[in-house]
Amino acid sequence: MVTLDGPSPAAQTPSRKSSLPGKAKREEDSRRRHYLFETYYCYSQQYPLTLMVLAIIIGICLALIAIFFIRGMRVSENLAFIVTVFVALGVFFSTLILVCVESVFQKCMRAFSLFIWACLVAMGYVFIFEGGVINAWDQVSFFLFITFIAYTMLPLCMRDAIFASLLSSVSHIVSMSVYLSLSERPPELLPHQLLANAVVFICGNLVGAYHKHLMDRALQKTFKDTLNCIKSHTKLESEKKQQDHLLLSVLPLYIALEMKAEIIERLTGPKDGQPQLENCNNFHNLYVKHHKDVSILYADIVGFTRLASECSPKELVLMLNELFGKFDQIAKENECMRIKILGDCYYCVSGLPVSLPTHARSCVKMGLDMCQAINKLREATGVDINMRVGVHSGNVLCGVIGLQKWQYDVWSHDVTLANHMEAGGVPGRVHITDATLRHLDEAYQVQEGNGHLRDPYLKEHQITTYLVIDPRAEEHYCEATLAHDPSDSAKIRASVRMTRYLESWGAAKPFAHLNQRDSLPVETPTFNHMDIPMGNLERYRSQRGLEEEVHERISEVIDGLNSQRQWVKSDHFNRVTLYFNTKAMEKEYRTTPIPAFMYYTACACLIFSCNFIIQVLISQKNAVLGISYGVTFFLFLLILFTCFVGHFSKCTQKGPTGLQWISSISASVSNKPWLRVTLATVTIFLVLAMALFNFFFLPQPSGPIPCNNSNHSLVLVEDERIFEARHFFTVPYYMYCCLLGLLACSLFFRMNFELKMILLVLALVIYNVIFLYTHSRLSDYYTCHLYPNASLEGGLRPGLLKDPKLMGSFSFFIFFFTLLVLARQNEYSCRLDFLWKRKFRQEREKIETMENLNRVLLENVLPAHVAVQFIGQRRKNEDLYHQSYECVCIMFASIPDFKAFYSETDVNHEGLECLRLLNEIIADFDELLSKPKFSGVEKIKTIGSTYMAASGLNAALGPECPQDSERNCMHIGVMVEFAVAMMGKLDFINKHSFNNFKLRIGINHGPVIAGVIGAQKPQYDIWGNSVNVASRMESTGVLGKIQVTEETNNVLCRLSYTCHYRGVIEVKGKGELNTYFVSTDLARSSSQGNMLN
């Protein structure tokens, strides 16, 4: 479990968080994010590196002890040294035990760092002043080690690291300068040696600071990528939940999954390069299934039409939403599935999608509950409305047809019969057929229904009907109703009384889940515990926003981090080599561009320059030194030019055309792995080689090494020049140049670990062979000069770290293991950062697909301009969408011949093949909507074989868009053209299917109310007298004709359409109306044609 340094900011003030103003909330989130980053940095980088540096230091102590006793050195002569090493071993081992307790480390991280640093500095001074002659070069390598790990491995901030490193470096230079300058025999060239020490420390500080800067930036990027990935995953889960809610609000699960898969395939394209499968029969996909033994319920609110005419748009939508929301609740309680809402008609089915033995009883019970709810409403408000319910049992075809505005529907002769059972029913009663009665198993008492007397269809098909007797009819419901005061009815409109009472039912609002993103349960990402560490924090998920969710998951990431994390088996990494398990991912990682590569080479050039300065200060000046460094400097200039030339692209673009290719060189270095690796290898090789190249041209001593005479003065004669042995102090400084060369490997942050290891191993072996074997005589002569009586009894012998040869070899191993640990940790961090970025990119692609899918789904439920009200904006949850329009054109287009065409036989799979043809017809009509010309036409729904559409719903509203009336009515002409295009589509289908279907079309325009109702299955619909008249225009029309009202005819004539007077017809509920047929040749003026097309 993550143990943090005190409670987090979020945990300190949980009760105030919700009341904080926006600015304070942002500041709190910023503080919390900074706190999480610091904790993430601690556990991902600082904690494992602290454990590793302690392990290295303990290894140093053990190695010193082992070498001390193997060499047979006397404890009495090196008592301070051996006591210091043993004490340090105990101290650092105890510190390691304490650091292993993560909570202790988190609380005392800075104290641990300073304590380790102080102990190392103390050890360094003991090694300087004990065990032999004190020289200016003493323990420069050890203090360089302290400086380097203060930046790279100790958990210090940049400021503290700079302070600790500079203090240790400056203290070494000052102490050496003071002590040696005051000694009896100050070393020759002491200022040169001290300056060389200063260059070594400056270089170590700069390299360490740059390395820390790179690591800090990399960790910040990784944390940011982690944060983005978790945000993306959280959003993706939310999008999936929205998507599922949205799709399941329209379609049952078994059809929704099938259609969702098809949409995703269409949005993302075929996978793995496989060609997309074409439909072999050239038909659109049909999502329709056959179900047997179901019961169908139709219910109509009697008296609602008159009531709706008195309502405002808001009242009407609220009233319908509350009523149908209540019916949806009743349907759910009785295991029924609502199919569709048609105006004030509600119908549902029991036994879908899973077969239900008690489907008839469930439907009848639902009908009785609906009647009871309306009775309560009538008693409470005094509004004269009632419920007429019809139920029939049989078989259905259910599913979705068409390409747009999906609505789950049912088809069959039994569905038609159930519809007529409602039409021939009695207000306040449930009207059932003999088939339903047989399935009731005498659960209810019935009486003769005489439906044939009220509906000709029932009489024609000789259907015996019954009315169900509600066993609760005699019960009194006063406790559940509001007292109705007749005096109040006269004062308040019926619609207002209805609205006030219905609000008490508290029906859910359509698409409420879309604006309650935070309340959606989100599953934890299934990322592997190594490559993207996720802990298993037990926690209670309350309602929260995205930031709280992200912060909680970041805490899980931090909880999963520990020093062994990169060694745990992973689905993505090889735990030893850190290679990705898939070749494609490994190749992608290795080919990732490295824009910062140029800075790696620049810093390597800095080390090279520091080595040059050191060798100029302490080494013999000769032609070889000048020529070798001159040539190498030229090579480095070429490398730097290759890397940085891209920064001068503006200059090359203005120059000759033949030079413009030069600016692309640096981009090639950053983007092409082979070129990048080659340059990095060459750069490191040059630094490593030049650190030692001039060492081979030092004067070489010859003859035996005399170290048994205190008065012996060794003089070498070579090339007629005299070179004294005391000048061999250059040997340790060449070792320090080699150590700085090793540091160059750590600068190439994104270089592969195996290449770094190969270079380090080669350098370690070669350096040790040179200094310990092939050219060890230089070190031996210098040691003999410092300790001339070492072989005599009682003579002064060099301590373990006073021998230049042994000190250098030991330092090589220390830096080798330190740099190897850092290289692996850097490799792990880089690969982890790459994996986060890759996962974030994949999550973003998934989110884009999900967002597109949500948009497609929502726009298949709602018009585009309505859909943005629910997803595109932060709509208040208590608001219902409703809108009134002054001029909307409504079209009903039916295929009356399809009823005769439809049959249920074994040959056509119980009517399935008939629906396949209807699906093709509706789909072709839907395809017309995708044409720019008909972008203003909105499909509302299909009712059996009737297609309902409207135009003018997406027009600008209000006085801010003043237009002349003719311009406002242009969409009516577009609707007529759409109707004609539908006729053309149907003729084309007739030609290929050998049928003779004809459309019967009715069009009207006028004011309507639009809104979205129903929480379980939200549905966009339009209501109003204009809609009813348009429906009557279709039902009283003629096959192959477009019938319009007189008002619509007048508009069309002004738009240059030709209409023919039909005459006066009787319209139910409207009386006699003058109607017209639109000429389908659409003879109009060219100017008007250009305007519409």
What does DSSP say about strands 336-342 and 345-350: parallel, antiparallel, or unpaired? antiparallel
Q: Which of 72, 100, 70, 68 is nearest to 85 (CA)?
A: 68
Pick the catalytic residue from 26, 306, 1068, 1070: 1068
- The yes-or-no answer on residue 569 being catalytic is no
- Provide the 3-class DSSP secondary structure of residue 357: coil
Q: Do 147 and 171 contact (CB within 8 A), yes or no?
A: no
Give the integer Cα–Cα distance in Å for 1055 and 1036: 25
Burial 1005-1019 (b: 16+ CB within 10 A, else e): bbebbbbbbbbbbbb
Q: Which residues fall within 8 angstroms of residue 876, CB to CB, at 6 or more apart?
A: none
The residue whose two tokens read 């056959």 is 290
Q: Which of 264, 340, 401 is nearest to 857 (CA)?
A: 264
- 24 residue type, one letter: A
Taking CB atoms within 8 Å and a gap of at least 24, the contacts of 240-246 are 240/850, 241/513, 241/520, 241/521, 241/522, 242/513, 242/514, 242/517, 242/520, 242/854, 243/850, 243/853, 243/854, 243/857, 245/513, 245/514, 246/511, 246/514, 246/854, 246/857, 246/858, 246/861
- The yes-or-no answer on residue 491 being catalytic is no
Q: Do 810 and 779 contact (CB within 8 A), yes or no?
A: no
Give the integer Cα–Cα distance in Å for 245 and 241: 6
Give the integer Cα–Cα distance in Å for 265 and 258: 11
Q: Do 258 and 287 contact (CB within 8 A), yes or no?
A: yes
Q: Do 303 and 384 contact (CB within 8 A), yes or no?
A: yes
**Which token pair is 998?**
């004809």
Q: Do 149 and 53 contact (CB within 8 A), yes or no?
A: yes
Bond prior to 353 in cis (omega within 30° of 0): yes
Q: Do 885 and 313 contact (CB within 8 A), yes or no?
A: no
Give the integer Cα–Cα distance in Å for 573 and 780: 48
Give the integer Cα–Cα distance in Å for 153 and 534: 25
Pick the catalytic residue from 831, 1032, 1041, 1084: 1032
Q: Which of 299, 297, 319 is nearest to 309 (CA)?
A: 319
Q: Do 1009 and 1022 contact (CB within 8 A), yes or no?
A: yes
Q: Which of 354, 831, 342, 807 is nearest to 565 (CA)?
A: 831
Catalytic residues: 1032, 1068
